Amino acid sequence: MPESTEVKRPVITPLRVVIALCLIAPFVAMLWVSSYAKTDPALGGIPFFYWYQMLWVLISTALTMIAYKLWQHDQRSRTTAPSTSDSSKGGASK
């Protein structure tokens, strides 16, 4: 009877959870309006409401870039994962 040597990798991994958090964080921050719907503290005369949103543009860019790099790493590790074959068992061919 042939043995199944293919190893199934889990779909949800800690790395993919981090990727999801990086992509979800900006949405949560921007949709929770009551957390930043105020004028103080002002930064250079700009009310908090505006500079907080502009800060999240930069943060979102950084988080999206991090998520993309992590996704590339995850995909590379999945395609180059060592698979078990007859040659890796150490036996000689007949």
> Residue 90 domain-assigned?
no
> Residue 49 domain-assigned?
yes
pTM, full prediction: 0.71
What pLDDT, on a 0 to 100 scale, did the predictor assign at position 79? 86
71 CB neighbour count, 10 Å cutoff: 15
> Residue 16 domain-assigned?
no
* Residue 69, domain extent: 33-78
What pLDDT, on a 0 to 100 scale, did the predictor assign at position 77? 87
Q: What is the pLDDT of residues 26-76, one digit of tens each?
A: 999 999 999 888 989 989 999 999 999 999 999 999 999 999 999 999 999
Report how many domains make up the chain: 1
What pLDDT, on a 0 to 100 scale, did the predictor assign at position 66? 97
Which residues are within 8 A (CB) of 43 and not within 5 positions of it... i.e. 6 or more apart? Answer: 51
Name which residue leads in pLDDT, 4 or 68: 68
> Residue 93 domain-assigned?
no
